[in-house]
Structure 1
Amino acid sequence: MPRTRLYLVRHGEQDPATSRAPTGGLSALGRDQAERAGRRLAGVPFDAIHHSPLTRAAETAALIGAHLPSIPRHACDHVADRTPVPSPEARDDYPARWHAWLDETPPDERDEDAAALRAAVAHFGVVAGRDRHELLITHNFVIGWFVRHALDAPAWRWLGLNQENAALTIVEWTGDRPPMLVAFNDTGHLA
């Protein structure tokens, strides 16, 4: 039975001097983390590497991609940095303790009712006529959303599913079964 396996990697540590800047690149530690992730993933038969357009993710993808030289790599808006925030109608679906924090989400990161993240899951979480292995280099909240989806948890439950820089999470779809969380926040290659 064919399966789709998504390997989700959070970008390496961003240079503290450019923290939160979209053009900010990786720190020396972030480059080392990406190299280690690349060595860890070198034997996986990936179909493609999809990375967030932000510099820290693109640099992570380039360093990992050096260990996967024949695998096509491209920027992908489906894995851009997003924060799923509730619409006014869905606000009460989120715990009240998070409302003030969510209200301060920058406009360019807001994903109301996770519309874009739901589209990302629909795009990547499909089973084709053959096995697929896709590498997504992205951001903490995006990975949290995929994990929340795999666990069929409430919409707000991406909160607190924190991913270390360059850690590995794997979600798998097989046939008509619900998705399965294979690994979460695996940092064994970073030790």
Structure 2
Amino acid sequence: MARTQLYLVRHGEQDPASGHASDGGLSQLGREQADRLGRRLRTVPFSTIHHSPLARVAQTADIIAGHLPQVPRHDCDLVADRTPVPSAGQRGRYPGRWLDWLDGVPDEERDEDATALQAAVEHFGVTGDNDRHELLITHNFVIGWFVRHMLEAPVWRWIGLNQDNCAITIVQ
């Protein structure tokens, strides 16, 4: 049976001078993290590099892609920065201690009931006739959602899963 391996990578460290601005690029450390990661991944037979369109992620992908010159890459809205938030009818599935924080998630990051993230899992989590390795360069909460899904954990458990910058999480 063919296998699909998803390499989930969080972007490199963002330049602290940009705060959390969506157009903020990488710090010097973030560029070094991405370069080290690219060297580490250079022997993996990736099919494609999919990355969030935000600047810090695109810059991370640029650096990593320099070590994977034959691998096509593209901006991918499926791995854009999203925060799963429960709809009014689903709030009971989340511990009460998280609800105030979730209510404060900015509108542009909200993914009500993780509809978009679930679509990403369904899109990337398919198998075909051949083994496939996909590199997804994305954000902490997106990776947390994929891992929560793979572990069949409660819907809110993505909250406690935190990846360092340029860390690799591999799911199959």
TM-score band w.r.t. shorter chain: over 0.9
Q: Is the counterpart of residue 93 in structure 1 residue 80 in structure 2?
A: no
> Separation in 1 of the partners of 2:82 and 2:132?
25
SS at 1:78 equivalent: helix
* 4+ residue runs over 4 A deviation: none
Amino acid across the alignment from 2:75:
A
Higher relative contact order at CA 8 Å, sep ≥6: structure 1 or structure 2? 2
Amino acid across the alignment from 1:121:
V
Task: Return the TM-score normalized by structure 2.
Answer: 0.99
Once the two structures are superposed, residues 36-90 of structure 1 have per-residue CA deviations (whole angstroms, 9 ceiling, x without a partner) of: 1101100000000000000000000000000000100100000000000000000
Question: Where does the alignment leave 5 or more consecutive residues of structure 2 unmatched?
Answer: none
Q: CA deviation at 1:20?
A: 1.2
1:12 corresponds in structure 2 to: 12
> Separation in 2 of the partners of 1:78 and 1:155?
19
Matches for 1:8-157 after TM superposition, within 5 Å? 8-157=8-157
Once the two structures are superposed, residues 123-177 of structure 1 have per-residue CA deviations (whole angstroms, 9 ceiling, x without a partner) of: 00000111110000000000000000000001100011000000000000xxxxx
1:182 corresponds in structure 2 to: none
Q: CA deviation at 1:19?
A: 2.0
1:175 corresponds in structure 2 to: none
| Identity percentage of aligned residues | 69
Task: Return the TM-score normalized by structure 1.
Answer: 0.90
SS at 1:8 equivalent: strand
* CA-based RMSD: 0.4
> Separation in 2 of the partners of 1:40 and 1:75?
22
